[in-house]
Structure 1
Amino acid sequence: MARVVRPSFEIGPVRVRPGRHQSLSLPITRLVTGAEVDLPVRVVHGRDDGPTVWVDAAIHGDEAVGVEVVRQVLADLDPKTFRGTLIAVPIVNVLGFMAGSRYLPDRRDLNRSFPGSARGSLAGRIAHLFMREVVDKCEVGIDLHTGSDRRTNLPQIRTDLDDPRTRELAAAFAAPVTLHARLRDGSLRHAARERGAKVLLYEAGEAWRMDPWAVDAGVRGVKRVLAALDMIDPDQVGDDAPPTPSVECRRSGWVRARGTGMLHLEADLGRHVVRGERLGGLFDGFGKRVRLVHADRDGIVVGRTEAPLVTSGDAVVHLAEPVEPAEPVEPATATGA
């Protein structure tokens, strides 16, 4: 019996033949110099049928970890053996990324601008383009992020754990922590869900840094999801042993400074703490301790500030509360984080 050939995949002005990968650029705007600003896209269109999935990074222009995650994932995919189609967009906020800025030149947050409009602001037009050419063609999406404002995050998935299929995909990713997160108006995750896609939001590392442990956890997680969708074989993930199941959390909150001073934190990412436990201290310029920082709940340290100076009310440690007692999560600097 003759093998049925998959149709080519259409995106923008390009048709990608089965068993091929192809890079393309989707026009966004034009600079004052006349140079074009384009959205960079790479499509891996497998020979065999399977889901259509997207992975994106740098919706916030200061988030470099996800760009490296996308690069490493693409480097290991062979379109001749790949099943289904992957749309990779490593840098969504191109103008912000070039400037090292979280925002677009008009200070708009792209992740509060979805689904956008073809005649709206620059952010709205980029969001509209991304929805039309990427999201509307996909069943599943993986949105890669890092901490913001001098904060660093433990590798974690934030998603809708009340949706059974999304929960399965989050379990397949196997980040150290999976946090049930409400939808934010204007976010990619919200707009994509309205179009019927299942979306995982990955958070790890610090803005404008290339944290190797955050990259490694992201690469393995994306590959595990592709394997769970039968788009690649499990042995392509690179796991030496089955990953540790993710710790499920339903609630989280930031411990805030109750004074002003130089911050010395003792709370590493991944550490399990109990209510009242000391997380660090605040000191004045002469080394005199001004105030201690204590945990306000039992939980896992999933985020922390890296700012040396904090003022009263600043968020310093992010604690997520496990649904059930769990084995300690390895520190984020460890190899398996």
Structure 2
Amino acid sequence: MPRASFGIGPVRIRPGYAREVELPITRLVTGAEITLPVRVVHGREEGPTVWVTAAIHGDEVVGIEVIRRVLARLNPKTFRGTLVAAPIVNVLGFTAGDRYLPDRRDLNRSFPGSARGSLASRIAHLVMTEVVGRGEVGIDLHTGSFGRTNHPQIRADLDDPRTLALAEAFGAPVMVNARLRDGSLRAAARERGAAVLLYEAGEAWRFDEWAIEAGTAGVRRVLASLGMIDPVEPPPQPSLFSRSSGWVRARRTGILQLDVVLGQRVHVGDRLGSLTDSFGKTLRLVHADRSGIVVGRTTAPLVNRGDALIHIAGLEPIEAPAPLDPPIDALPHHDLDPDLS
């Protein structure tokens, strides 16, 4: 029996085809319609349904390019299963050059949303209904917030064996067992039974090539692990595992000089940098308050007392997960930074 077509919004997509769909969000005062762009790759052969989202925060553009590169290499004639890709979820924030929506709401604190709620709530409801609700596996792509940059990392519920297996397949340098945040896409999707990976890498409003490459390779590895595409090159080394992370903060105001880079291993007491005045006089040294790996840092030269400077994830050994058997039929934390999704 041939595979059934895939319905989304007002259209149906036949097996072996890809199609772009515009899902209505709202109308501007001029009458122009704002829509959510979605591309569906509906493979000719049976397989799982996976969704990939990016730019829930309008200034986080790395994921947009990741999705573009992933889609460019997929052939629906040989693809197994279905991929639903929404590269720009926060369309209004993206077009305005803003992280948030016009009403200043954070879209990633508005899920699962409501069809009759605020603009943020209605967008969240649309994404949950037409994108997230259709798949058993999801990958949500993010970057650091404004003034911060992140080392490539997966944040997920690593106590769930299936999610852990997917995170290992992704192969980011670091994976963090991050708690769920109320109102986030990841929390709402988990509530509906999906296994969700959140990818963090790079800086807002930057096409950081190293972050794009790691994200593109990771998404393709997940698709391969689910049997949706042919096997791809494995990661150069297994992901490091973390159960806790936290920020080293400035103990006084000054001009920041950093001595560490993303991905660097540090130990308690190591010098991370210094705070100076405008003439170069050292006001305070910055030291690591824990051991681990640098997964984030500020990009701001001037910092105030209490500002977050360096994000360090503690490292732990991890046991090998049970093998992941594709396709998936059905799928029934610790984060001290409020900006991380």
TM-score by length of 1: 0.93
Q: How many pairs does the alignment contain?
A: 318
Q: Displacement of 1:287 after TM fit?
A: 1.0
Q: Is the 8 A contact 2:144 2:150 kept in 1?
A: yes
Distance 2:175 2:242 in 1: 6
Distance 2:143 2:85 in 1: 18
Q: Which runs of 5+ in 1 are unaligned?
A: 326-337
Q: 2:247 aligns with which of 254, 264, 271?
A: 254
Q: Deviation per CA, 1:47-90, whole angstroms, max 9, x where unpaired?
A: 00000000010000000000000000000000000000000000
- Other-structure match for 2:95: 98
- Other-structure match for 1:16: 13
The code of the aligned residue for 1:127 comes to A
- Other-structure match for 1:310: 303
Moved over 6 A (4+): none
Q: Does 1:142 align with 2:135?
A: no
- Other-structure match for 2:289: 296
Once the two structures are superposed, the pairs formed by residues 1-337 of structure 1 within 5 Å of their partners are: 4-234=1-231, 237=232, 239=233, 242-324=235-317
The code of the aligned residue for 2:207 comes to M
- Secondary structure at the aligned position of 2:133 is classed as helix
Distance 1:133 1:148 in 2: 27
Percent of aligned pairs sharing the same letter: 72
TM-score by length of 2: 0.92
- Secondary structure at the aligned position of 2:243 is classed as strand
- Other-structure match for 2:338: none
Q: Deviation per CA, 1:261-283, whole angstroms, max 9, x where unpaired?
A: 11011110000000000000011
- Secondary structure at the aligned position of 2:22 is classed as strand
The code of the aligned residue for 2:12 comes to R
Distance 1:129 1:104 in 2: 15
The code of the aligned residue for 1:308 comes to P
Distance 2:104 2:133 in 1: 27
Q: Displacement of 1:242 after TM fit?
A: 4.7
Distance 2:317 2:220 in 1: 27
Q: Deviation per CA, 1:15-38, whole angstroms, max 9, x where unpaired?
A: 000000000100000001110000
The code of the aligned residue for 1:133 comes to E
Distance 2:28 2:195 in 1: 35
Q: Which runs of 5+ in 2 are unaligned?
A: 319-341
Distance 1:64 1:195 in 2: 27
- Secondary structure at the aligned position of 1:322 is classed as coil
- Secondary structure at the aligned position of 1:126 is classed as helix
Q: Deviation per CA, 1:95-136, whole angstroms, max 9, x where unpaired?
A: 000111110000000000000000000000000000011111
